[in-house]
Amino acid sequence: MSIRVQRDWGEIVRRAVRYVVLGAVTFVVCFPLIWALLTSIKPTGEIFTSPPTWLPKELVVEHYSALIHGKPMYFESGSDYTPDTSPTQHFLSWFFNSVVVAFGAAFISVAIATLAAYSLTRFRYHGRRVIPYLSLLGYMMPPIVLVFPLFLVIVDLGIANSLWSLVFGYVSITMPFCTWLLWAFFRGLPVEIEEAGLIDGASRFQVFYQIVLPSALPGIIAAVIFSVIVAWNDYLFARIFINSVQNLTLTVGVMHFFEGVHVNWGLMMASAVLMTLPLAALFMFFQRHLVAGFGAGGVKG
């Protein structure tokens, strides 16, 4: 016996509308990225043709190779001043700086936040209830308020114009929020799993790194991703803490592709694409972990 499936036209229409709306929103959100990608592979001459071409007529990698090989810029501004190095020659070190600073800051920030959050949820002392809320409050402070006092501290420490200054700066803005995030996470982790570990004969330390840390992994990954994004996208701190061109990070560095009134859009867009890639890859890799990990299941109910 076969079952006739009835077509529900209303449902089909609703579904179609849903797809159209979602597709439109996705397109709007992704448009800048798509446009940057398309622009970056057009020859310089084609970028400003009117009407604009959608797909490049001619596919070139000159902007990418200029960034990677550090070719001198082929555009002459016409002014008397010609710098002895061109910004493209620094692109790779900016990229490297960004990676070091973002991941270094994320590592330090999350390492401290993890221990702090664990202690806040498991040990009893004065203030353990207010600290998480205060740290959330601290994160709400706009960075512009913090940046000058921090700069003075950094000068006093003698680390101005070094990557350390950025690492410390980013740790100081991401760590409070990471602490709060992980605090919320550890709070949801039943203390009985640790007690079970102790009864099973593990030391406190073993319990921490064999049971607690792996169980909190989704929270830790979320905190790392958050910290990396904040550091990676920061402009303000890098603009103020760093003087020398080779110590810049990407966000400030690529501003050198503006030369007076002229902007080299091809390089700009190629940099934008290269800046986005690492984070996009990071997200894609960890997203599965994030979703799968939430709602730890060691406990019934």
Partner 1 sequence: MALDVVLSRVNKLFGSNHVVKDVDLKFPALNFVTLLGPSGCGKTTLLRMIAGLETVSHGDIYFGERRINLVRPGQRDVAMVFQNYALYPNMNVFRNIAYSLRVRGTPREEMEKKVREVAEILEISHLLDRKPRHLSGGQRQRVALGRAMVRNPAVFLMDEPLSNLDAKLRVNMRSELKLFHQRLQTTTVYVTHDQLEAMTMSDLIAVMHDGKVQQFGTPAQIYNEPCNLFVAGFIGSPPMNFLPASLDRDSGGRLRVGGAMLDVPGETFPGLGDCPADAKLVLGIRPQDVELAAEALPGSLAGEVVLVELLGSEKLVDIRLDGGQRLVVQVRADRDIAVGENVRAVISPNAMQLFDEASGESLRRR
210: which DSSP letter?
I
Q: Are 97 and 248 in contact (CB under 8 A)?
A: yes
Instruction: List the structure tokens of 249.
Output: 């990070």
> Is residue 58 within the footprint of partner 1 (CB under 8 A)?
no
φ, ψ (nearest 5 deg) of residue 258: -85, 125
Interacting residue with partner 1 among 202, 229, 236, 290 (CB under 8 A): 202
Q: Please answer whether residues 87 and 262 qualify as being in contact, where contact means their C-beta atoms are separated by less than 8 angstroms.
A: no
Residue 189: DSSP 8-state: S
Q: Which is nearer to partner 1, 110 or 269 (CB)?
A: 110
Element (H, E) at 232: helix 217-233
205 binds partner 1 (CB under 8 A): no
Among 148, 195, 277, 287, binds partner 1 (CB under 8 A): 195
- Contact stretch for partner 1 (CB under 8 A) within 46-54, 71-79, 175-183, 188-196: 188-196
Enumerate residues 6+ apart whose C-beta is below 8 A from 68: 91, 92
When asked if residue 297 is in the footprint of partner 1 (CB under 8 A), the reply is yes
The first and second tokens of residue 29, run together, are 């959100």
Token pair for 30: 């992704």
Write down the least CB distance from residue 268 to partner 1, Å: 44
Q: Which is nearer to partner 1, 37 or 193 (CB)?
A: 193
Vertex 247, ends 71 and 97: CA angle to 5°? 85
Is 300 near partner 1 (CB under 8 A)? yes
Position 295 contacts partner 1 (CB under 8 A): yes
Q: Are 105 and 231 in contact (CB under 8 A)?
A: yes
Q: By CB under 8 A, tell whether 198 contacts partner 1.
A: yes
Should residue 217 be labelled a site residue for partner 1 when binding is judged by CB under 8 A? yes
Q: Binder to partner 1 among 193, 229, 236, 290 (CB under 8 A)? A: 193
Question: Residues 88, 210: contact at Cβ < 8 Å?
Answer: no
Decide whether 58 or 192 has the Cβ nearer to partner 1. 192
Contact between 209 and partner 1 by CB under 8 A: the answer reads: no
Asked if 291 is part of the footprint of partner 1 (rule: CB under 8 A), the reply reads no
Give phi and psi for 102, each to the nearest 5: -65, -50
Check residue 127 for interaction with partner 1 (CB under 8 A): no
User: Which residue of 18, 155, 190, 277 would you call a contact of partner 1, by CB under 8 A?
Assistant: 190
Ranges assigned E (strand) in the chain:
258-259, 262-263
**Which residue lies nearer to partner 1 by CB, 51 or 297?**
297
Binding site for partner 1 (CB under 8 A): 190, 192-193, 195-203, 206, 210-211, 214-215, 217, 295-301
